Structure 1
Amino acid sequence: MEVGNAQGLKFAIVVSQWNAQVTGALLNGALEGLAKHGAVEGDVEVANVPGSYELISGADIVLRNDEFDAVICLGCVIQGETKHFDFICDAVGHGIANVGLKYNKPVIFGVLTTDNLEQALDRAGGKHGNKGEEAAITAIQMALLSKKYN
């Protein structure tokens, strides 16, 4: 897969503090992915929010600053015993998509929605790789696409 060069692009990473063991690993994966493809530290800003639901307003807040080419939203929602999981996952997915449309910027959904902590850890640097790094690659590709056509 051709990723492209992130040099000169500016990224914001909005990361949930809830399930920090998982989201911290996702963040490390995203930072490593951006760096591996040419992004430098000064072109990446990290903004922490309390939980996955707040990724929506967090992305909206950072995009009020027009300097970013893409925003990566990282979070983790683990299934519990109530329907709360379904409501949060649905709201976060729609909210992140709407922020991207509002600002005409790539806003990347890097939110794990798993049945348990083990599945989340498997996707945050475990046996299924690091979805944070995958989100970073997606952000690079989408930022380059946006620059090409805007």
Structure 2
Amino acid sequence: MAGTETHYTLPLPRFDKPAKVLIVVAPYYKDIADDLIAGARAVLDEAGVAHDLIEVPGALEVPTAIALAHRQSNFDGYVGLGCVIRGETTHYDTVCNDSSRGLTLLGLQGACIGNGILTVEDRDQAVVRADPAQQNKGGGAAAAALHLIALSRKWGSETKGIGFKPVGSFQIAADSEGPASA
């Protein structure tokens, strides 16, 4: 049973330059969304990271909003929040799979995203997972985004020295009509 497990949590990264995170939430279940937001904000505040919040209609719109922000804004990372509770139709499977797949694809393209979209069987599971005093999945999603931002900054500053570098007589002179002769 997941409630009795213990888990190791990485310490939050520290940043030498300011970071800014966008929280994107689908508040379909408002009380659950509010708890997810509270958990995410507490972690971001603890790490000293600035953050903005936007709302979208549902979990399927979370990846699209993050994609728009990633292309058109200046955020270092993103936290996607929402809740999908199993119903009587297969729509649950579509929303769970497609929202998760959308966030994963954005992450593979370089967006630093913490996925805090709950996918649960019933409301009771959602309440426990969203509550900052219990499983705090909003806080966990924020922490995940921060760790990815830290990795991106670490590896983004390293150069591999791979690529073409013209050497000596093979360089083209700026004032010549064609390739330089050897």
TM norm structure 2: 0.75
Question: What fraction of aligned residue pairs are identical, expressed as a percent?
Answer: 32
Measured in 1, the distance between the counterparts of 2:133 and 2:155 equals 37
Alignment of 1:34-45 (within 5 A): 34-39=44-49, 43-45=50-52
Q: Could you say which structure has the larger radius of gyration? A: 2
Q: Does 1:61 align with 2:71?
A: no
Structure 2 gap segments, 5+ residues each: 1-9, 157-182
Q: CA offsets, 1:14-58, max 9 Å, x none? A: 10021111111101110011101222xxx2111110000110111
Instruction: From the two aligned structures, give the one with the greater helix fraction.
Output: 1
Report the Cα offset of residue 129 of structure 1: 2.0
Structure 1 gaps of 5+ residues are: none
CA distance in 2, matches of 1:88, 1:129: 22
1:1-150 map, 5 Å: 1-6=10-15, 8-39=18-49, 43-102=50-109, 104-125=110-131, 128-150=134-156
Pick which of 119-128 and 63-72 moved more.
119-128
Higher relative contact order (CA 8 A, sep 6+): 1
Amino acid at match of 1:31: R
Deviation of 1:106 (Å):
1.0
What is the DSSP-based 3-state SS (H/G/I as helix, E as strand, rest coil) of the residue aligned with 2:74? coil
Is contact 1:105–1:146 with CA below 8 Å preserved after alignment? no
Root mean square deviation, CA, Å: 1.5
Runs (4 or more) in structure 1 with deviation over 3 Å come to none
Instruction: State how far apart, in whole Å, the 2-side matches of 1:138 and 1:126 are.
Output: 16
* Equivalent residue, structure 1, for 2:161: none
What corresponds to 2:162 in structure 1?
none
Q: Which structure carries more strand by proportion?
A: 1
Please list the CA deviations of residues 83-116 of structure 1 after superposition, one character each: whole Å capped at 9, or x if unmatched. Answer: 11111111111111112233x1212211100011
Do the aligned partners of 1:122 and 1:128 also contact (CA within 8 Å) in 2? yes
